[in-house]
Structure 1
Amino acid sequence: MLVGVTVSFVFAAERRQLILEMVRANGAVSLRELARVVQTSEVTVRRDVRALEAEGLLDRRHGGAVLPGGFTRESGLPQKSHLATAEKTAIADVAAGLVGEGEAIVVGAGTTTQELARRLARVPGLTVVTNSLLVAQALAHANRVEVVMTGGTLRGSNYALVGSGAEQSLQGLRVSRAFLSGSGLTAERGLSTSNMLSASVDRALVQAAAEVVVLADHTKLGADTMFQTVPTDLITRLVTDEPPPHEDRAGTELQALADQGVQITVAGAGQNAAEPAPPARRARQDVPLPGQRGRHPGASALRGAGAPLPAEAPPADRGPARVADLRRR
């Protein structure tokens, strides 16, 4: 549960002190949550965060604020779970629609992939290879889903198996898709993370898959962290949420990714989970951005949260990747 105090009204100095205490208590807090706690607009909170950053008291991130030095530090799972929760749910809903019956996939560690795993429990005949204890736990009681865990050393901050044992267990495997998250995504460097061991395992997951699907909410667009996991030219598809109108950098990054050939699928987030998506957004059809790959026609339609996409066929040059294909090369 997020630590904080709800107030009816505060002056600017008091409001900023509350914001600072929230960030110190939780490590990372979204602008939406900060605005809710201090009962003001996100525009005002954003201005407060800028002022606190200028004093060196915290660092801004897209859609939130973190403790100073966030570029080299990875937030723990409790902190990550409070960032962009509605957006992650919408992304997971859409990503689950990309998975068909009887497929074999790999799923990396992360709070967004954990949300995806909860939805994959309903896919019959699915095989999921993962290094995440949380992904495995979400699928533990799914009778029709087989879960294959890597070896490795447990990394407690995100409940993931890392190290040479994890990487070696992935050698020679072939699956249809890899679903990965990370700490940041840019058109220049692709997907990145703050931890070297996690990055190394993610690269091994990519090598096992015919396609790479990145799940990243708009707060990660334009963020660049220490260790590259997936270069842009290896990313087949990005599933994200619609950036707010004021997030110009996120929109620019989406366009740059599309120009480099990444297929963009936008989930209908952008509002509180309790609020329905606007009808126009639900009905809107996708107009491909310049440079999008067209290997899977019709699969990049913009849908509202929870609207599944049809399962895609793997590329013709690599052949179908079903459970039977989960074998040593």
Structure 2
Amino acid sequence: MLIAERRRRLLAHVRDHGYVSFRDLAEALGISESTVRRDLRAMAADGLLALTRGGAGPRHGSSPARSVPPAGPNGADPVSGPREAIAARAATLVAEGSAVLLGPGRTTTALARYLAAFDQLTVVTNSISVTSALLDAPQVEVVLIGGALRRSIGAAVGPIAEAALTGLRGAQVFLSGEGVTPERGLTTPNVFAAATDQALMAAGQQVVVLADHTKLGRETMCQTVPPERIDVLVTDQAADDYLVDRLRATGIDIHVA
């Protein structure tokens, strides 16, 4: 079966059924689950469908036969709109077989659902929702960092988490805070979350910030990543052009989803 025909049939199956698991799609088309994951990841990056925990569903605004069910607890619901677009673009930056770090947040959780379609990957995280999004992806090795639970963000923070990150090194770290400015970079309102995010930042060779347009130009109390340490910023099309230009002038590579 040609790739184009296979993907056409996958898309039709998703649109007809709403939410479909990787296994069901593989059985329906008579192909392997790894092939399904690879095709769905490419199709999601093209905006044709949305990946969810363990499968795929139609993009927000389409009319499936039945709605996409929640992917899991702790905020791991299917994400639509700017966060989904940002997550899909961020997933294209990740190489198969690499090791990446993900901080807490709704956008990083959306990214985790795209990463669940990878054939081989290691994800280090302190986020409960990121871990939940990867539970049904046994081919993705998950390293869950422990520490003091901060319930407001669903993540482990504090000295134990920071110590656990010492000595780790990943190809990329993906972080999402509450504000991004050219002067202070990424910020968050909580000092404990900021310290743990800084430890995550130190463990990543490339620092990627995920921030929708509502966060650009906003500044909160604690600096997480100074502007000179942000390698890539992924935002959405509603981002203010003036702010984008000012951030780009600091040397940040900006991707607009």
State how far apart, in whole Å, the 1-side matches of 2:160 and 2:207 are.
22
User: Residue 183 of structure 1 contacts residue 192 of structure 1 at CA under 8 Å; is this kept in 2?
Assistant: yes
Q: Distance in 1 between matches of 2:214 and 2:195?
A: 23
Separation of aligned partners in 2, 1:164 and 1:149: 15
1:222 maps to which residue? 217
The residue that corresponds to 1:259 in the other structure is 249
Deviation at 1:229, TM superposition (A): 0.0
TM-superposed deviation, 1:85? 4.5
> Paired residue for 1:114?
109
Distance 1:189 1:129 in 2: 26
Structure 2 counterpart of 1:177: 172
Q: Structure 1, residues 163-214: CA drift from partner, whole Å, max 9, x if none?
A: 1010000001111000000000000000000111110000000100100000
The higher-RCO structure (CA 8 Å, 6+ apart) is 1
Please state whether the residue corresponding to 2:200 is helix, strand or coil: helix
Mapping 1:76-155, distance limit 5 Å? 85-155=80-150
Q: Which residue of 2 aligns with 1:241?
A: 236
Report the secondary structure of 1:100's partner residue. coil
In structure 2, distance between residues paired with 1:90 and 1:169: 31
Contact 1:134 1:159 in 2 (8 A): yes
* Counterpart-to-counterpart distance in 1, 2:241 and 2:145: 36
Q: CA deviation at 1:252?
A: 1.5
User: TM-score under structure 2 normalisation?
Assistant: 0.69
Secondary structure in 1 matching 2:81 = helix
Preserved CA contact (<8 Å) 1:100 1:123: no
Q: Say which of 154, 157, 162 aligns to 1:159.
A: 154
The CA distance in 1 between the partners of 2:86 and 2:124, in whole Å, is 20
- Where in structure 1 do 4 or more consecutive aligned residues deviate above 2 Å? none
Superposed CA offset, 1:80-101 (max 9, x none): x9xx950001000110111111
The separation in 1 between residues aligned to 2:102 and 2:255, in whole angstroms, is 18
In the alignment, the residues of structure 2 paired with residue 226 and residue 93 of structure 1 have an alpha-carbon distance, to the nearest angstrom, of: 29
The code of the aligned residue for 1:212 comes to V
Counterpart mapping for 1:279-318 below 5 A:
none
CA distance in 1: counterparts of 2:148 and 2:193, whole angstroms: 11
Quick one: distance in 1 between partners of 2:192 and 2:104?
A: 12
Q: Secondary structure at the match of 2:256?
A: strand
Alpha-carbon distance in structure 1 between the residues aligned to 2:98 and 2:215: 28
Gaps of 5+ in 2: 1-73
What TM-score comes out, normalization by structure 1 length? 0.54
- Say yes or no: does 1:204 pair with 2:194: no
Partner amino acid for 2:248?
A
Find the aligned partners of 2:190 and 2:106 in 1 and give their Cα distance: 16
In the alignment, the residues of structure 2 paired with residue 194 and residue 160 of structure 1 have an alpha-carbon distance, to the nearest angstrom, of: 15
How many residue pairs end up in the alignment? 183
For 1:166, what is the secondary structure of its paired residue?
Answer: helix
Which aligned pairs between 1:32-47 and structure 2 lie closer than 5 A?
none
Give me the whole-angstrom Cα distance separating, in 1, the residues matched to 2:143 and 2:161.
Answer: 12
Query: Which letter maps to 1:128?
Result: V
What is the rounded CA distance, in whole Å, between the counterparts of 2:153 and 2:241 in structure 1?
29
Alpha-carbon distance in structure 1 between the residues aligned to 2:191 and 2:80: 25
Q: Which amino acid aligns with 1:260?
A: T
**Which runs of 5 or more structure 1 residues have no equivalent in the other structure?**
1-76, 245-249, 268-329
**Root-mean-square deviation over aligned CA pairs:** 1.7
C-alpha separation in 1, matches of 2:135 and 2:192: 25
Amino acid at match of 1:101: E
Q: Are the aligned partners of 1:105 and 1:127 in contact in 2 as well (CA < 8 Å)?
A: yes
Shift of 1:151: 1.4
Percentage of matched positions with identical amino acids: 51
